[in-house]
Every structure is written in C-alpha cells, then in structure tokens.
Amino acid sequence: GPKGRTVIIEQSWGSPKVTKDGVTVAKSIDLKDKYQNIGAKLVQDVANNTNEEAGDGTTTATVLARAIAKEGFDTISKGANPVEIRRGVMMAVETVINELKSLSKPVTTPEEIAQVATISANGDVEIGNIISNAMKKVGRKGVITVKDGKTMHDELEIIEGMKFDRGYISPYFINTAKGQKCEFQDAYLLLSEKKISTVQSIVPALEIANQQRKPLVIVAEDVDGEALSTLVLNRLKVGLQVVAVKAPGFGDNRKNQLRDMAIATGGTVFGDEAVGLALEDIQAHDFGKIGEVQITKDDTLLLKGGGNPAELEKRAAEIIEMLENTTSDY
C-alpha cells in the first residue's frame, strides 16, 4: 500500500526477494496451523483476483477482506444470520462501487498517467515516468510489454515496425562488421509457411530480386539442405544480398504472424492452402516491400513496410475485435 513497509522474502533458489507488493507478500505466506492456513489462502485468493482484474490495489483488498471477515464473525457470534450478513455486504459493495465511480476522474494527461504508474510501481518515480512516456508514444491502444533487461538501467524501447524473436539461420548472412547484424535497405520479403529445402523452389525468387537489384529477406518455417547451401554460397562467392530467417511461433500462431507480415509489407504468404501458390511461380508483386531490415542472431526487425493502409486498418480492427471477444490470456 501507499504506506507499506519493505518485506524480505526467502526463496528456495537465488537471492531473497525484496518487495512491498501486497500480492507478492501474500503469495509467500504459508502457515503451519492448517485452519489458519485455509484463512490465509482465502486472503491470497482475494489479492490474486484483485491483481488479475485491476493490476493493483492488492493491499487495500487484503485490508478490506480482513475488516469484513472480522466484523462478520463478531456479528455472527452475537447471533446474526450469516446469509443475511452476506446479502448486506453485497448491497454495501454495490453502493460503495457506485460512490467510487462518481468520485473517480479519467486519467488523461501524461503527468496523471505517471502518478498512477508510480503508485503501481511501489513509488518508483523513474518507472512511472517510463510507463507514461511509453503510453504517450504508442497511445492507449498500443502494445506495451515489460521484459527483464540485461543491464543495470531501466530502458524504454519504441519499435515502429514488426519485431519477432528469430534471427538469421546462418552467421554467414552477416553483412556488417559492427554488431554482428544483417542490415538491408529497400528489400523484398519472401514469406513461406512451409520449409524450403530445394534449390528449384528459391531460384525464381532469387532471379527476380537480382533483376530488380533488391536485397531478399526469406522468412519461412525453415530453410535447410540444398536451398540453404545455395544461399550461403551465393552470399559468399557472388555477394548476393540475401538472408534467411525462421518464422516465429508455431501452428496457427505462426500462420497469423506471417499473415500480419504479409499485410504490413504488401506481400503474399506461400504454402498457405487458401492462397494455393507455388514458390516456383513467384512474381515480383508477390514479395513484401520493406524500407529497412535489421537482423541479429536473436531477433528480426522489419521497418517501413509497404502494405496497403486500408488493409492494415482492416487487420487492426480484426485484432481489436478478437481481443475484446477472447476469453484466453494468450
């Protein structure tokens, strides 16, 4: 809570955890007395549910749960009907919620967002400001993810394209001396749901890219065998501007990500039964267009895609509708 004190929690592995987050403290409580432990588990459920629903306010929920339980038991011990007490509590909850809604005000300015975020971050002003800046950059409907960093500093990274956790298949595709990266400007993107193994399947794509003097980025389920050897040899011997990357995700998730890439860049996904196109029959208009590509051993960043704005809007609306209707956390 706002006046909460820091707690050090012993962990079965690693260093002790230092926190003042209510739900984290509640989760770590395990009492020897089994009756007391049942009560503690019920309060843990209260904190967990509040955390999942609102993302904050777990300490307040715990304090309220204790107060309701204490007053409830006192009243029952004086002969009151437990069913009536529950009904009264639910009526009070409804009244309190309506009153809180009437007192609340929408958070609109970056300063207000920073204040709310700072409280949620246990009073860490720096984290609050980073969250406020992130929301200012990407908007209310933008995607914000939090990851553990590898440095001692908190960092905000804005990605204005598509980024996924797959890097180049072979280090022979690296074309920059600094940073072990493969970088291209104004490139073609070839998307395939299936594995590419034969030379015959990629030669037409390579010929078109070569004629148009465009670098070629291949994103497929996998690229191996003769196909990979041919790409690497051409890259080393002829200086062919090409790179192969494994498609991200699995199953339907991979299909959707490839479809998103196709829409963002104006390309076609090969190997998709609905499209029914063979790689050997590829035409220049089947490639996606990318203004800038950066590929490391771990991830790929596609910037300035040449997709149709109307198609992008349509796909964004589809995703928003799916998010509103989904019952899954994934």
Residue 55 Cα distances to 46, 121, 167, 224, angstroms: 13, 11, 33, 45
Q: At 100, is the pLDDT very low, low, confident or very high (cuts 50, 70, 90)?
A: very high
For residue 189, the model assigns a pLDDT of 95
Instruction: For 248-291, write each residue's pLDDT tens digit.
Output: 988 888 988 999 999 999 999 998 665 667 888 899 999 999 99
Instruction: For 169-226, write each residue's pLDDT tens digit.
Output: 999 999 987 778 999 999 999 999 999 999 998 999 999 998 999 999 999 999 999 9
Q: Which of 219, 297, 222, 317 is CA-nearest to residue 261?
A: 219
- Asked whether the predicted pLDDT for residue 232 surpasses 80, the reply is yes
CB count in 10 Å sphere of residue 60: 15
The CATH 3.50.7.10 portion of the chain extends over 163-325
Please give the CATH topology (third level) of the domain spanning 163-325. GroEL (3.50.7)
- Which pairs from 13-20 meet CB under 8 Å and 24+ separation? 19/122, 20/122
**Is the separation of the CB atoms in 297 and 274 below 8 Å?**
no
- Asked whether the predicted pLDDT for residue 329 surpasses 80, the reply is no
For residue 68, the model assigns a pLDDT of 93
Q: At 323, is the pLDDT very low, low, confident or very high (cuts 50, 70, 90)?
A: confident
Percent of the chain with pLDDT over 90: 45
Q: At 58, is the pLDDT very low, low, confident or very high (cuts 50, 70, 90)?
A: confident
Beta-bridge partners for 293: 184, 302
All residues at 6 or more sequence positions from 198 whose CB lies less than 8 Å from its CB, including other chains: 225, 226, 227
The CATH 1.10.560.10 portion of the chain extends over 7-103
Tell me the two tokens of residue 233. 């040899």
CA dihedral 67, 70, 72, 73 (to 10 degrees): 170
For residue 275, the model assigns a pLDDT of 62
For residue 2, the model assigns a pLDDT of 61
- Asked whether the predicted pLDDT for residue 308 surpasses 90, the reply is no
Please give the CATH topology (third level) of the domain spanning 7-103. GROEL; domain 1 (1.10.560)
Q: What angle do CA 257, 51, 133 make, to 5 degrees?
A: 60
- Asked whether the predicted pLDDT for residue 146 surpasses 90, the reply is no
For residue 1, the model assigns a pLDDT of 58
Task: Please give the helix or strand (H or E) that residue 183 lies within, else none.
Answer: strand 182-196
Q: What angle do CA 270, 310, 189 make, to 5 degrees?
A: 30
